[in-house]
Structure 1
């Protein structure tokens, strides 16, 4: 690139008159041509103003090299990623009751988050207890739900509960979450009580339907999910008294206490 300017000093001296509408007194020529990259150099200098600006330019630090630019961009990218990661961790902590979950608790799905909202410490204890204690917890919770819902005296429900406690599949149609299964909550001999959900996880929940949900949860292949889902379903049968259920769980399951 080539730059030429005439009357720079005069233009500087008459700058005010030009701004007030006078005729311009300086002229410039810019010329560009292809050439290999190289350092800037002054070919010709003909004014005090140009000398001043050349001196100022030489006092400036050199521009960053391509490697320095790449390193700076890498640092900026790492900083952005760090900020985004911190934001994700904070959001996850809020979602999970104030602290990040273990990988297994994060992955398990089901009603894990629902149970965490009721009792995060219990969810962590179940998570840490191991598969055997988790399966015991799932079966225990299913029994508590059936008893609380008043279904233990209904032959078909009691038979299904015995299957769960033996580690067997649920009989039909209780294994179906749709209309056929829920129809077991009505008919002769089936009580019609509803949960007192004051302060509890659900409002006006049919205890019988949630007891069936607990039975189905207890046979989930993943023992952690089975325990968490069955506990939450049992909690909905207890309504506002669900803390009593959770206190009993801590007393009754030895592996849970150890966890």
Structure 2
């Protein structure tokens, strides 16, 4: 047997702790226990109650190789708990202070393997006397300012540790169960009754299941939000997997004409590519720039299904060059007829005043996109915005020229 600590220990609020790391929570330490003076419900920690509310009590900590004999009769209250420390040493920690002493439970050089579970016996004597403010002394015997009675408290405590045998820890529930070995004082009885009234904490598997339920509910809410947001972005109807894979600026046309989007998505890739080129030409035509001779290489590349020449991929440079053409004249117009108010983000955007040339230009690069579906949808969107208030006629013409895309959903 080794004495790890033997001396005066300060207590406040009738509490002192043994801990590997953080201090234990009072209710969590005792919930589910039968004893209320040594709480072991928090991992790696003990919450110890004393009779003295404030002062210094005699405290002894012993480490045994095996279970010691039963507590001597002088100890009025005796309880036992189990503790799995988080390190080879634990600290004896007063309330609101740092460790009073380090308690090495594992000798140096023997802390390389798994830490054992320790059985802990907490013995108390004089708890009822300790509850008295003056510790049984006549207060008349103390002059003003004499607080020496705080250093001579009548209650004292013994804490014994010993490692449990593997056979004792095979039954996990039994190894962790606490027990009241002896109960004499009214103070200990009060705390035992208090602990018995606490709600039993959920078992580990119940905590895991509760966390899983919370996580699944959160994932379900997130998925429902994602689906609602996706449906909104695609014009009120969930997209097909093919549409979902499309990148680029394709949601504008989905909000404008969702049925047309589904129709374009269902035709073959060659038809989608023809739609893209046709829409780009329509956009340039309505903007008054389709007949510029220097655009011929771009149209030729699109007709052959080839990438655009490099000089046609910079939209800012194209807009600058077109603006310098004397033969080109255009005016700023609105996408929505005068007097009509738009609703939602799309309606607000369609109410802005736009430059038809600037709206038409993206149709050229869109038509050359590697994905033919993306090329078609982006080019159609650019052409529709370039047609401004005549976009309904443009979409009707698209359905006439490519009847396969003319579909109506209820």
Q: TM-score, normalised by structure 2?
A: 0.49
Task: Tell me the equivalent position of 2:356.
Answer: 207
Task: Tell me the equivalent position of 1:42.
Answer: 180
Report the more deviating stretch, 167-176 or 53-62: 53-62
Report the more deviating stretch, 33-42 or 214-223: 33-42
Task: Tell me the equivalent position of 2:395.
Answer: 246
Distance 1:138 1:28 in 2: 90
**1:169-199 deviations in Å (ceiling 9; x for gaps):** 4456434323146413431322324444236
Long gaps (5+) in structure 2: 1-120, 132-153, 165-174, 338-348
Task: Tell me the equivalent position of 1:255.
Answer: 404
Distance 2:361 2:208 in 1: 61
Higher relative contact order (CA 8 A, sep 6+): 1
Map 1:108-257; keep pairs closer than 5 Å: 108-157=246-295, 160-171=298-309, 173-180=311-318, 182-198=320-336, 201=350, 203-257=352-406
Report the more deviating stretch, 121-130 or 229-238: 121-130
Distance 1:219 1:43 in 2: 85
Q: TM-score, normalised by structure 1?
A: 0.73
* Structure whose residues are more often helix by fraction: 1
**For the Cα contact (< 8 Å) 1:2–1:31, is it kept in 2?**
yes
Distance 1:197 1:136 in 2: 25
Alpha-carbon RMSD: 3.8
Long gaps (5+) in structure 1: 12-25
Matched, 1:2 2:122: yes
Counting matched residue pairs gives: 247
CA 1:195/1:136 → structure 2, altered by over 3 Å: closer, same or farther? farther
**For the Cα contact (< 8 Å) 1:195–1:238, is it kept in 2?**
no
